[in-house]
Amino acid sequence: MEDPFQERSIGGIVLDDDEYTVEQSYFRNKYKVYDSAGDLVLKSKQKMLKMKEEFPFYDADGNVVFRVKAKNILDVAGDYVLTEEGSDEPLLILNKNFTFFHHRWTIKRPDGTEIAEVASRSAILEALRSLIDFLSFLPHKYSITTPDGDSIGEIEGHFSLRDRYDIRIHDTGSVPKTALVVGAIAIDALEGN
Protein backbone atom coordinates (compact mmCIF):
# COMPACT_ATOMS: atom_id res chain seq x y z
CA MET A 1 0.00 0.00 0.00
CA GLU A 2 1.27 3.44 -0.89
CA ASP A 3 2.16 5.57 2.13
CA PRO A 4 -0.08 8.68 2.11
CA PHE A 5 2.65 10.54 4.01
CA GLN A 6 5.48 9.83 1.58
CA GLU A 7 5.26 13.45 0.41
CA ARG A 8 5.51 14.45 4.09
CA SER A 9 2.51 16.77 3.79
CA ILE A 10 -1.23 16.85 4.27
CA GLY A 11 -3.06 19.26 2.01
CA GLY A 12 0.19 21.11 1.36
CA ILE A 13 1.10 21.42 5.06
CA VAL A 14 4.57 20.03 5.80
CA LEU A 15 5.21 19.21 9.46
CA ASP A 16 8.87 18.18 9.51
CA ASP A 17 10.06 20.33 12.42
CA ASP A 18 11.29 18.60 15.59
CA GLU A 19 9.23 20.71 17.99
CA TYR A 20 5.79 22.33 17.95
CA THR A 21 3.97 24.41 20.54
CA VAL A 22 0.21 24.03 20.84
CA GLU A 23 -1.93 26.64 22.61
CA GLN A 24 -5.57 26.09 23.54
CA SER A 25 -8.01 28.95 24.08
CA TYR A 26 -9.40 29.58 27.55
CA PHE A 27 -12.96 28.35 27.17
CA ARG A 28 -13.29 26.19 24.06
CA ASN A 29 -11.38 23.50 22.26
CA LYS A 30 -9.72 25.94 19.87
CA TYR A 31 -6.06 25.31 19.11
CA LYS A 32 -3.18 27.11 17.45
CA VAL A 33 -0.05 25.19 16.49
CA TYR A 34 3.31 26.93 16.08
CA ASP A 35 6.58 25.55 14.72
CA SER A 36 9.91 26.07 16.51
CA ALA A 37 10.39 29.42 14.73
CA GLY A 38 7.09 30.65 16.22
CA ASP A 39 5.19 30.59 12.91
CA LEU A 40 1.52 29.57 12.98
CA VAL A 41 1.15 26.34 10.98
CA LEU A 42 -2.28 24.99 11.99
CA LYS A 43 -5.49 26.00 13.74
CA SER A 44 -8.35 23.82 14.89
CA LYS A 45 -11.62 24.01 16.75
CA GLN A 46 -13.95 21.31 17.92
CA LYS A 47 -17.38 21.32 16.30
CA MET A 48 -19.80 21.73 19.19
CA LEU A 49 -23.07 19.86 19.71
CA LYS A 50 -22.31 17.17 17.15
CA MET A 51 -23.38 13.55 17.60
CA LYS A 52 -19.94 12.52 16.35
CA GLU A 53 -16.89 14.42 17.52
CA GLU A 54 -15.23 16.35 14.72
CA PHE A 55 -12.17 18.58 14.51
CA PRO A 56 -11.40 20.42 11.27
CA PHE A 57 -7.79 21.61 11.03
CA TYR A 58 -7.00 24.83 9.13
CA ASP A 59 -3.79 26.20 7.67
CA ALA A 60 -2.53 29.65 8.73
CA ASP A 61 -4.75 31.25 6.05
CA GLY A 62 -7.93 29.62 7.38
CA ASN A 63 -8.31 26.91 4.71
CA VAL A 64 -9.47 23.49 5.93
CA VAL A 65 -6.61 21.03 5.39
CA PHE A 66 -7.83 17.87 7.12
CA ARG A 67 -10.42 16.60 9.61
CA VAL A 68 -10.49 14.19 12.50
CA LYS A 69 -13.89 12.59 13.00
CA ALA A 70 -15.23 9.88 15.31
CA LYS A 71 -16.29 6.70 13.53
CA ASN A 72 -19.18 6.15 15.94
CA ILE A 73 -21.62 8.25 17.93
CA LEU A 74 -20.53 9.07 21.51
CA ASP A 75 -17.31 7.05 21.35
CA VAL A 76 -15.77 6.33 24.77
CA ALA A 77 -13.16 4.04 23.33
CA GLY A 78 -13.00 3.79 19.61
CA ASP A 79 -11.58 4.94 16.34
CA TYR A 80 -11.17 8.44 15.02
CA VAL A 81 -10.37 8.88 11.36
CA LEU A 82 -8.12 11.56 9.89
CA THR A 83 -8.99 12.49 6.29
CA GLU A 84 -7.57 15.09 3.97
CA GLU A 85 -10.08 17.81 3.09
CA GLY A 86 -12.00 16.91 -0.06
CA SER A 87 -11.41 13.18 0.34
CA ASP A 88 -13.13 10.41 2.24
CA GLU A 89 -10.02 8.21 2.17
CA PRO A 90 -8.57 7.79 5.67
CA LEU A 91 -4.95 8.83 6.17
CA LEU A 92 -4.69 7.78 9.81
CA ILE A 93 -6.74 5.94 12.38
CA LEU A 94 -6.45 7.14 15.99
CA ASN A 95 -7.56 4.30 18.24
CA LYS A 96 -8.40 5.13 21.85
CA ASN A 97 -7.66 2.16 24.06
CA PHE A 98 -10.17 2.48 26.89
CA THR A 99 -8.58 2.21 30.32
CA PHE A 100 -9.45 3.76 33.63
CA PHE A 101 -6.91 6.29 34.86
CA HIS A 102 -4.54 6.01 31.89
CA HIS A 103 -4.67 7.65 28.46
CA ARG A 104 -3.43 5.30 25.74
CA TRP A 105 -3.83 5.76 21.99
CA THR A 106 -2.56 3.85 18.97
CA ILE A 107 -1.85 5.66 15.70
CA LYS A 108 -2.45 3.34 12.75
CA ARG A 109 -2.30 3.40 8.99
CA PRO A 110 -5.63 2.77 7.23
CA ASP A 111 -4.65 -0.89 6.70
CA GLY A 112 -4.40 -1.34 10.49
CA THR A 113 -0.60 -1.29 10.72
CA GLU A 114 0.43 0.38 13.98
CA ILE A 115 2.94 3.19 13.59
CA ALA A 116 3.04 4.66 17.10
CA GLU A 117 1.54 4.68 20.56
CA VAL A 118 0.82 7.80 22.62
CA ALA A 119 0.42 7.09 26.34
CA SER A 120 0.18 9.21 29.48
CA ARG A 121 3.27 8.82 31.63
CA SER A 122 1.70 8.53 35.07
CA ALA A 123 -1.25 6.26 35.77
CA ILE A 124 -1.30 7.43 39.40
CA LEU A 125 -1.53 11.11 38.43
CA GLU A 126 -4.24 10.35 35.84
CA ALA A 127 -6.19 8.47 38.52
CA LEU A 128 -5.93 11.44 40.90
CA ARG A 129 -6.98 13.86 38.12
CA SER A 130 -10.15 11.87 37.53
CA LEU A 131 -11.03 11.92 41.23
CA ILE A 132 -9.98 15.45 42.24
CA ASP A 133 -11.05 18.24 39.87
CA PHE A 134 -8.41 20.67 41.11
CA LEU A 135 -5.64 18.38 39.85
CA SER A 136 -6.96 18.61 36.29
CA PHE A 137 -4.92 21.83 36.00
CA LEU A 138 -1.66 19.92 36.32
CA PRO A 139 0.05 19.62 32.94
CA HIS A 140 -0.26 16.32 31.07
CA LYS A 141 2.77 14.37 29.87
CA TYR A 142 2.71 11.70 27.19
CA SER A 143 5.32 9.42 25.68
CA ILE A 144 5.30 8.64 21.96
CA THR A 145 6.77 5.24 21.11
CA THR A 146 7.07 2.90 18.15
CA PRO A 147 5.12 -0.39 18.25
CA ASP A 148 8.41 -1.95 19.48
CA GLY A 149 8.52 0.45 22.44
CA ASP A 150 11.32 2.75 21.20
CA SER A 151 10.89 6.38 22.29
CA ILE A 152 10.35 8.73 19.36
CA GLY A 153 8.84 11.75 21.09
CA GLU A 154 6.87 13.29 23.90
CA ILE A 155 4.08 15.71 24.59
CA GLU A 156 4.65 17.89 27.63
CA GLY A 157 2.24 20.42 29.11
CA HIS A 158 3.27 23.63 30.87
CA PHE A 159 1.79 25.62 33.72
CA SER A 160 0.18 28.68 32.17
CA LEU A 161 -3.13 30.51 32.04
CA ARG A 162 -3.67 28.99 28.61
CA ASP A 163 -3.34 25.28 28.03
CA ARG A 164 0.07 25.13 26.35
CA TYR A 165 2.19 22.16 25.54
CA ASP A 166 5.13 21.14 23.41
CA ILE A 167 5.31 18.22 21.03
CA ARG A 168 8.87 17.02 20.52
CA ILE A 169 9.65 14.41 17.89
CA HIS A 170 13.01 12.61 17.83
CA ASP A 171 14.44 10.32 15.17
CA THR A 172 11.35 8.56 13.84
CA GLY A 173 13.05 6.11 11.49
CA SER A 174 10.41 4.98 9.01
CA VAL A 175 7.51 6.55 10.94
CA PRO A 176 6.30 9.68 9.10
CA LYS A 177 6.80 12.76 11.30
CA THR A 178 3.73 14.46 9.85
CA ALA A 179 1.57 11.54 11.01
CA LEU A 180 2.99 11.75 14.54
CA VAL A 181 2.52 15.50 14.87
CA VAL A 182 -1.03 15.46 13.50
CA GLY A 183 -1.91 12.43 15.63
CA ALA A 184 -0.50 14.00 18.80
CA ILE A 185 -2.43 17.26 18.30
CA ALA A 186 -5.67 15.42 17.60
CA ILE A 187 -5.24 13.12 20.61
CA ASP A 188 -4.74 16.02 23.01
CA ALA A 189 -7.86 17.69 21.62
CA LEU A 190 -9.91 14.49 21.88
CA GLU A 191 -8.78 13.93 25.47
CA GLY A 192 -9.99 17.44 26.29
CA ASN A 193 -6.77 18.31 28.08
pLDDT digits (tens, 9 = 90+) for 137-177: 566 788 899 999 999 999 887 766 667 889 998 877 777 78
pLDDT in tens, 84-125: 888 888 888 888 886 666 678 899 989 999 989 988 766 555
Q: Which residues contact 72 (CB under 8 A, 6 or more apart)?
A: 52, 78, 79
Superfamily of domain 17-191: LURP1-related (2.40.160.200)
DSSP 139-158: PPEEEEE-TT--EEEEEEEE
Question: Would you state the pLDDT for residue 19?
Answer: 93
pTM of the shown model: 0.80
Distance, CA of 103 to CA of 33 (rounded, Å): 22
